[in-house]
A = this chain, B = another copy of it.
Amino acid sequence: MSEIVTAERAPIAFAGSALDRADAVRTSPEQLAALMGPRARLLRLNGLEPRIDADGALDWGSLAEADLDAELIFLGLDAVGHGCFVAAPPLGDASTAPPGPRLWQAMAGLSPGDLATYGAARSLAGWHARHRFCPRCGGGTVAARGGWQRDCINPACKAEHFPRLDPVVIMTVEHDGDLLLGRQPRFPKGRYSALAGFIEPGESLEEAVAREIFEEAGVRVAHVAFVASQPWPFPSSLMLGCHAIAKGRDLVIDHTELDDARWFTRAEVADAMAGAPDAAFGAPPPHAVAWHLLDRWLRG
């Protein structure tokens, strides 16, 4: 939502869709039906991957292209009030794999607004594909509320299910002017980034930050501050970026989670973020909220 003043120097990837979610429409079968006319737009996907038009933008067609029995998800209204939809993929097309190079290449050409629209569509479509059955009773489910809900069709159950979103803490850790960063085994050679982990039931955001830093690096923290957030649709994370102040700098690295973790000086972080050829490490990419955490820290 571009109206919000933020402290970011660059757009946060996957945020800032130009679509109006128009949530009141979801509960009105009449309004939904009226928006499904010939002017309605259908986001074209290959499975869960975006199709790109000749201008490098998201590719849209008409609802007539959707399978007759496809469940349509209402993404929102475009700038002129036309309904925008995506079709829930058929059963089985429910990959939760992280994006590969081809997907990153396709996404790199999208405008920030298109990238956010695609992310929302991908996250929702993937949720539908992975939730064809009721986890409570095993019965079938059908889409409801314009695709923002699935209802169990078992009359003895009738459970309602909602799109899932998994909150994740991701954090820089500071001690005596240095920054703690870690290397996950799946990272490209030389890259270090912010530590991260899923928040668990029964803990606050601040507790999750402290727990993850202690588990992964053996460091206790004294203070936790929120910095910025990011939707991350692989498949449905909400990244909650934080900055923590550590009580000490002795590391006990959990090598089941991390290849390595190290303290870096401010100059080393600045060189890495500037892409200096002799930098001490490779910085996280700008589409990651970790990039913003490092950028904000460098700027004070």
Which residues of A does B touch, CB under 8 Å?
1, 3-6, 12, 14-17, 21, 23-24, 27, 94, 116-117, 119-121, 123-124, 127, 130-141, 148, 159, 161-167, 198-207, 210-211, 215, 220-224, 226, 228-231, 233, 236, 238, 240, 247, 254, 256
Contact = CB atoms under 8 A, between A and B. Distances in A.
A109 B206 CA distance: 25
Contacts of A1: 203, 206-207, 210-211
Contacts of A5: 222-223
Contacts of A206: 1, 4, 6, 15, 228-229
Contact of A123 (B27, B137, B140, B201): B201
A261 to B, nearest CB: 16
Given A1-B206, A3-B221, A134-B138, 16 more contacts: A3-B222, A15-B206, A119-B202, A130-B136, A132-B137, A132-B138, A133-B138, A138-B139, A163-B200, A165-B166, A201-B231, A204-B230, A204-B238, A205-B240, A206-B229, A226-B226
Q: How many copies does the complex hold?
A: 2
9 closest A-B pairs by beta carbon, nearest first, are: A120-B202, A226-B226, A133-B138, A123-B201, A205-B229, A15-B204, A131-B135, A135-B135, A204-B229
Which of A14, A17, A123, A135 is most buried by chain B, counting CB atoms within 10 A of its CB?
A: A135
A293 to B, nearest CB: 14
7 contacts: A24-B254, A132-B137, A133-B133, A133-B135, A135-B141, A165-B201, A202-B231
Nearest to A136: B130
B136 A136 contact: no
A223 B4 contact: yes
A279 B116 CA distance: 44
B130 A135 contact: yes
A1 B221 CA distance: 10
A12 B165 contact: no
Given A133-B133, A136-B132, A226-B226, A203 B231 contact: yes
Contacts of A210: 1, 3-4
A284 B220 CA distance: 33
Given A164-B164, A207-B1, A233 B202 contact: yes
